[in-house]
Amino acid sequence: IGAFHGFYAEEDLVGNLASMSTSERIKAIQKMPETMQRKREIRNQVLKEITKKSSHHSTHTTCCTQCLQGEVVSFRRFGSTLSEYYQMLWFWHKTLKIIGAEFGTSVLSYFIFLKWLLTFNIFSFLINFSFITIPQFVAAQPNNLSFTGLELLTGAGYFQQTVLYYGFYTNATISKIEHGPSYNMQLAYIFTVCLYFLVCFIILLLSMAKSFCKNFLSPQAYSGNASKLLCTWDFNITNEKAVKLRQKNLSTQIKERLTEVKREVLNFSVKERIVRIVIHLFSWIASLGTAVAACTGVYFLSINNLELFVKGHKNDLEGQAAMLVLPVVVSLLNALIPFLYSWLGRLEKFQIPGQHIYVTITRNIVLKISIVGILCYYWLNIVSASESQCWETLVGQDIYRLVVVDFIFCLLGSFFGEFLQRIIGTTVCTSWGPPEFDIGRNVLDLIYAQTLTWIGILFSPLLPGIQMITFSIVFYVKKVSLMMNCQPPRKVWRTAQMATSFMFLLFFPSFVGVLAVTGVTIWRLKPSKECGPFRGLPYMYAAVSEWIKELDNHIASKWVVWIYSNLITNELFFFILSVIVLIITYLYWHIIEGRKTMINLLRKQIIN
């Protein structure tokens, strides 16, 4: 009887696999907890079943159909090969596995987020370099300034007359051949920036939707402890080191899940509750007061910095060193105050580690976004109205210095914040022990750096390339510091929703705030008269309006004018488009979750 039921269970399994698409069937077979020989047998049975079904539908296959099927199979194999090589190119893939096995998913989420931001900046750099920088090389004038090396820190001097900054770009139409095709730098600049932000918006929206569906809408597909224990082993692993690493990784994940199940709710007395409430209030008042004081200091220091620059001390060593005062002070505040927030979090003694991290992240985001908001007010309202010949380049230099100095402080933070803590905790105060990796502070450092990059794209198009280099270095410095100085979290806990929180914080208030700053700059502020692609215009967007007026005189371009007049400038169109995008995003990921659920059901059938 058992063999009889087993035969029909296998028959149902083969039938279900045969009804799937090729990619889904391959993934389902790969995830089966079976030996390679057994997987080959199942695959052959499925192929026979598909052949039988196809013979019922068609008894005769033409030569063209056979060729088409052969091309499809070859294309799929080529795609699978490319996917394998793509995975091999990401040389940090093994590093992420080791971090997940040693320190758990909470620390791993930081490095995955860092890798995602690095990929994001590579895309940004390629877009800006291809459509803005390369055409400018054609019309570029030779740079007569000398390079001293200090420009790497200040961003001034030699760099001021390069493609790094807005002011160097021409406002002319570039044409290499007389009476040949031309390239309108004004339109290229504004369209590249706007389309880039549109692509960023879509990518962030899809990433949040994917993470939200995975961690909130369909948690049952990922929370089965039995399936995690019985169904996740990969029988393709034969290397001894890989086997031990996989075992350690699974052990850490199971501990995290069991910690959630065994979590106890502590009952406090009335006195203890009052004391905890007072501590929480004190911590929040202290954190908010510190943020307000920091923003006040940054504002007055920035005003002083502008006066120093306008007076004319630009090229001498003392003047260039004075330019670093503002970014150094801002980076000091961003580096030291989070340590106060971490101490306040330990003082509050949260029962759940996740609460400590989320509260620390909230306080840090209030601090960093407030400082960035003060700087944006300074740039858009004070610098833009100053007597500077090219205020856009001045803003670009400020952001460049902030990015570079923040990167230096990030490296120093790994030394003083983690290395010295390990030395003290293992030699002087052994009761402290090695430090834990501060996820909240490090994640907010990434979001702050990416926010500066987004703001600076309009004023310094190659800033994503600089951030790409800094993120690559930060990844390896943080990895080495983590392995050498930090210990795994004392309380093991699972962070399925943390990646979603990171994405949301990157989207709001970071990306939404950047869109507001960019919109004000393009639609409201008057460009400099003597530099940049928009010189002489009342505002940057006027370049598009003038282009539309020119197209209105050409009959062949009437459709472009109609789209601009009825869609681009219509608020209702963007509202409807946003609703459609949200609906499609939800349905798309809902379908994916349904397919994943079917695969999980097939795996359970195999176990039964």
How far is residue 180 from each of residues 140, 174, 175, 547, measured CA to CA in Å?
A: 19, 10, 7, 19
Which residues in 41-191 belong to E strands, given as ranges?
A: 173-174, 183-184
Identity of the amino acid at 309:
F
- Give CA–CA dist 514/193, Å, rounded: 12
Give a yes or no: residue 393 inside a domain: yes
Place 70 in a pLDDT band, splitting at 50, 70 and 90. low
Q: What is the pLDDT of residues 459-514, one digit of tens each?
A: 999 999 999 999 999 999 999 999 888 887 765 555 556 777 888 888 988 999 99
Q: What is the pLDDT of residues 161-217, one digit of tens each?
A: 899 999 999 888 887 666 667 888 999 999 999 999 999 988 888 888 777 776 665
pLDDT of the residue at 373: 94
Query: Which range is least confidently modeled, 17-21, 115-119, 572-576?
Result: 17-21
* Residues 530 and 419 reside in one and the same domain: yes
Two tokens, residue 162:
């390069």
For residues 141-148, give the mean pLDDT: 80
Which residues touch 164 (CB under 8 Å, ≥6 apart)? 155, 396, 400, 460, 461, 462
Give a yes or no: residue 2 inside a domain: yes
DSSP state of 556: G
- Give CA–CA dist 417/224, Å, rounded: 38
pLDDT of the residue at 604: 57
Q: Which of 53-57, 73-77, 584-588, 590-594 has the highest mean pLDDT?
A: 584-588
For residues 395-409, give the mean pLDDT: 94
pLDDT of the residue at 285: 94
DSSP state of 487: B
| Mean pLDDT across the chain | 79
For residues 427-442, give the mean pLDDT: 80
1 pLDDT above the threshold of 50: no
Give a yes or no: residue 547 inside a domain: no
Two tokens, residue 145:
């300034």
For residues 127-134, give the mean pLDDT: 92
* Residues 266 and 373 reside in one and the same domain: yes
* Residues 259 and 378 reside in one and the same domain: yes
* Residues 144 and 25 reside in one and the same domain: no
- How far is the first Cα of the chain from the last one, in angstroms, to the nearest whole number? 15
* Residues 34 and 165 reside in one and the same domain: no
Give a yes or no: residue 7 inside a domain: yes
546 pLDDT above the threshold of 80: yes
pLDDT of the residue at 581: 73
Give a yes or no: residue 85 inside a domain: no
- Give CA–CA dist 276/266, Å, rounded: 13
Query: In this structure, are residues 448 and 406 in contact, taking their beta carbons and an 8 Å threshold?
Result: yes
Two tokens, residue 576:
């409807």
Give a yes or no: residue 563 inside a domain: no
* Residues 22 and 136 reside in one and the same domain: no
Residue 25: count of CB within 10 angstroms of its CB? 20
> Quick one: residue 179, left, alpha or beta (phi over 0 = left, psi -120 to 50 = alpha)?
left
Place 562 in a pLDDT band, splitting at 50, 70 and 90. confident
- Give CA–CA dist 111/75, Å, rounded: 34
Q: In total, how many domains does the chain have? A: 2
Query: In this structure, are residues 170 and 532 in contact, taking their beta carbons and an 8 Å threshold?
Result: no
223 pLDDT above the threshold of 50: no
pLDDT of the residue at 512: 92
Place 534 in a pLDDT band, splitting at 50, 70 and 90. very high
Give a yes or no: residue 240 inside a domain: yes
* Residues 114 and 42 reside in one and the same domain: no
404 pLDDT above the threshold of 70: yes
430 pLDDT above the threshold of 70: yes
For residues 546-568, give the mean pLDDT: 83
* Residues 413 and 476 reside in one and the same domain: yes
- Give CA–CA dist 354/351, Å, rounded: 9
Q: What is the pLDDT of residues 249-289, one digit of tens each?
A: 667 666 656 665 555 555 677 877 888 889 989 999 999 99
Residue that is last in its domain, among 492, 515, 538: 538
Query: In this structure, are residues 231 and 33 in contact, taking their beta carbons and an 8 Å threshold?
Result: yes
For residues 339-358, give the mean pLDDT: 79
* Residues 1 and 115 reside in one and the same domain: no
pLDDT of the residue at 558: 81
pLDDT of the residue at 59: 47
* Residues 20 and 128 reside in one and the same domain: no
Nearest residue to 159 via CA among 278, 382, 323 = 323
* Residues 151 and 37 reside in one and the same domain: no
pTM above 0.85, yes or no: no
Q: What are the helix and strand counts (H, E) for the chain?
A: 23, 2
How does DSSP assign 417-459, residue by residue? IIIHHHHIIIII-TTT-SPBP-HHHHHHHHHHHHHHHHHHTTT
In the chain, pLDDT over 90 holds for what percent of residues?
Answer: 28
Two tokens, residue 450:
């990416």
Two tokens, residue 231:
């169904």
Burial class from Cβ neighbours inside 10 Å (0-12, 13-18, 19+) for residue 308 reads middle
134 pLDDT above the threshold of 70: yes
444 pLDDT above the threshold of 50: yes
238 pLDDT above the threshold of 60: no
* Residues 171 and 42 reside in one and the same domain: no
Two tokens, residue 387:
């007597």
Two tokens, residue 206:
């899809």
What's the domain range around 506? 104-538
- Give CA–CA dist 382/111, Å, rounded: 38
Residue that is last in its domain, among 491, 513, 538: 538
> Quick one: residue 312, left, alpha or beta (phi over 0 = left, psi -120 to 50 = alpha)?
left
Give a yes or no: residue 76 inside a domain: no
Residue that is last in its domain, among 493, 510, 538: 538
